[in-house]
């Protein structure tokens, strides 16, 4: 036991660490069927969006004889107004949506954690300033602001769009992180760390933030869902240049081409909606299980 901690890890042991962590993760997850279902859904959509396009040929040629077909063996989800395969578009349309959503959530979470903890820990004038800015951002009507920003800046790249979404979203999370850190920094173990002179970096990243892991992860997931909706929303409204393929663009065209009004085209408009809904549902149900997974009480007890 003692030697196990001491010895320089071999390659096998190095691999064993993450392997154990993964097994542990799945064990804890398996206790929460809803969370497990969500996790499977997330894995499925990640594979669909990032791996499947590597194996499936992209079909972009209009075929006038196949317009608005109902599902069949050749077109499992039917065809669109140009006779293109809908399933193919679903497969190729996920990557951008998910990348932007995750990137935007990352941007907003990093902003919220950094400035939320700075405000809470340093306090004083810095706290007041950060809070004032946050409150202003918090009161801005997000969607209207998003429309305005998108209309003015015309984000051409999806990374740019992600950053804009992230910059709009951070405010409520920042307030919550600040409140949490304010209460956590009064804990006895933080006081002990102060009197042991462990330094601010240690206190924030080793003592305070780890106890907020589940909290942050859950918020990250909800930020992802928010970013996804917002993004589909502005793409749907045609506020970003329409190019490439993603689920939002599918909706944009489906609506624009009146797919709503034909019985046979219902699969065309429903498919992206269903895809978006299922991703959101998976994320939210996975989030519900995170509380358990991060709880140290449930770890390592097997």
Partner 1 sequence: MTALIELDHVSRAFATPAGAITAVDAVSLALGRGEAMCLVGESGCGKTTTGRLLTGLLRPTGGRLLYEGKDVWLTKGADLARFRRAVQLVHQDPYASLNPTRTVFQTLSAPLYRHKKANSSRQALAAVTELLKRVDLTPPENFVTKYPHQLSGGQRQRVAIARALTVDPKVIVADEAVSMVDVSIRISLLNLLLALAKEFGVTIVLITHDLAVARYFARRGRIGVMYLGRMVELADTEALVTDPAHPYSAALIAAIPEADPDITRSKTRVELRSAEIPSLLSLPPGCTFHPRCPLSEAGLCDVKIPELLAIPGAREVACHVAVRERTGARAAVTA
Give yes or no for residue 198 binding partner 1 (CB under 8 A): yes
Q: What x/- string results for residues 209 through 228 when contact with partner 1 is judged by CB under 8 A?
A: -xx-x---------------
Give yes or no for residue 123 binding partner 1 (CB under 8 A): no
DSSP letters spanning 215-236:
HHHHHHHHHHHHHHHHHHHHHH
Of 191, 256, 260, 277, the residue at the interface with partner 1 (CB under 8 A) is 191
Give me the count of residues in the chain: 302
Of the candidate spans 41-49, 116-124, 186-194, 215-223, the one that interacts with partner 1 by CB under 8 A turns out to be 186-194
Q: What x/- string results for residues 239 through 278 when contact with partner 1 is judged by CB under 8 A?
A: ----------------------------------------
C-alpha distances (whole Å) from 49 to each of 34, 97, 249, 268 are 22, 9, 15, 18
Angle between helices 247-256 and 213-236 (to 10 degrees): 30
8 Å CB contact between 53 and 92:
yes
Of the candidate spans 150-158, 162-170, 205-213, 263-271, the one that interacts with partner 1 by CB under 8 A turns out to be 205-213
The least distance separating partner 1 from the CB of residue 294, rounded to whole angstroms, comes to 8
Of 34, 31, 30, 90, the closest CA to residue 283 belongs to 34
Give yes or no for residue 142 binding partner 1 (CB under 8 A): no
Q: For partner 1, which is the closer residue by CB, 22 or 295? A: 295
C-alpha distances (whole Å) from 190 to each of 117, 207, 214, 286, 291 are 14, 7, 19, 31, 22
Of 1, 64, 74, 152, the residue at the interface with partner 1 (CB under 8 A) is 1
Of 290, 227, 296, the closest CA to residue 39 belongs to 290
8 Å CB contact between 163 and 104:
yes
Rounded CA-CA distance 29/292 in Å is: 8
Q: Could you give the count of Cα atoms lying within 13 Å of 258 in the half-sphere of its Cβ? A: 3
Of the candidate spans 91-99, 120-128, 160-168, 203-211, the one that interacts with partner 1 by CB under 8 A turns out to be 203-211
Of 278, 288, 227, 294, the closest CA to residue 44 belongs to 278
Q: How many residues bind partner 1 (CB under 8 A)?
A: 26
The least distance separating partner 1 from the CB of residue 8, rounded to whole angstroms, comes to 9
Of the candidate spans 37-45, 64-72, 129-137, 181-189, the one that interacts with partner 1 by CB under 8 A turns out to be 181-189
Q: What is the 3-state secondary structure (H, E, C) of 29-54?
A: HHCCHHHHHHHHHHHHHHHHHHHHHH
The least distance separating partner 1 from the CB of residue 299, rounded to whole angstroms, comes to 8
Give yes or no for residue 206 binding partner 1 (CB under 8 A): yes
The least distance separating partner 1 from the CB of residue 184, rounded to whole angstroms, comes to 10
Of 24, 194, 237, 281, the residue at the interface with partner 1 (CB under 8 A) is 194
Kindly list the residues in this chain that would bind partner 1 in the complex (CB under 8 A).
1-2, 5-6, 187-189, 191-199, 202, 206-207, 210-211, 213, 296-297, 299-300
């Amino acid at each position: 036991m003692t030697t196990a901690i001491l010895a320089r890890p071999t390659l096998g042991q190095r691999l064993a660490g993450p392997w154990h962590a993964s097994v542990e993760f799945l064990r804890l997850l398996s206790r929460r069927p809803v969370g497990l279902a969500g996790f499977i859904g997330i894995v499925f959509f990640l594979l669909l969006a990032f791996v499947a396009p590597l194996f499936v040929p992209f079909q972009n040629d209009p075929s006038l004889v196949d317009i608005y077909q109902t599902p069949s063996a050749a077109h499992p989800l039917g065809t669109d107004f140009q006779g293109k395969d809908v399933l193919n578009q679903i497969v190729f349309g996920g990557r951008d949506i998910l990348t932007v959503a995750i990137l935007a959530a990352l941007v907003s979470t990093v902003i919220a954690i950094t400035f939320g903890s700075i405000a809470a820990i340093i306090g004083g004038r810095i706290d007041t300033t950060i809070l004032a800015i946050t409150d202003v951002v918090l009161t801005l009507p997000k969607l209207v602001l998003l429309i305005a920003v998108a209309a003015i800046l015309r984000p051409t790249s999806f990374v740019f769009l992600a950053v804009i979404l992230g910059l709009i979203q951070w405010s409520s999370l920042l307030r919550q992180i600040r409140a949490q850190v304010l209460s956590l920094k009064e804990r006895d173990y933080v006081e002990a760390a102060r009197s042991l002179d462990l330094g601010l970096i240690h206190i924030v990243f080793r003592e305070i933030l780890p106890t907020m892991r589940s909290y942050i992860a859950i918020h990250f997931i909800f930020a992802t869902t928010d970013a996804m909706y917002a993004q589909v929303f502005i793409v749907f409204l045609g506020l970003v240049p329409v190019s490439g393929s993603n689920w939002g663009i599918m909706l944009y065209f489906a609506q624009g081409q009146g797919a709503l009004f034909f019985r046979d085209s219902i699969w065309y408009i429903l498919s992206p909606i269903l895809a978006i809904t299922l991703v959101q549902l998976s994320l939210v149900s996975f989030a519900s299980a995170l509380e358990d997974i991060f709880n140290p009480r449930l770890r390592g007890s097997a």
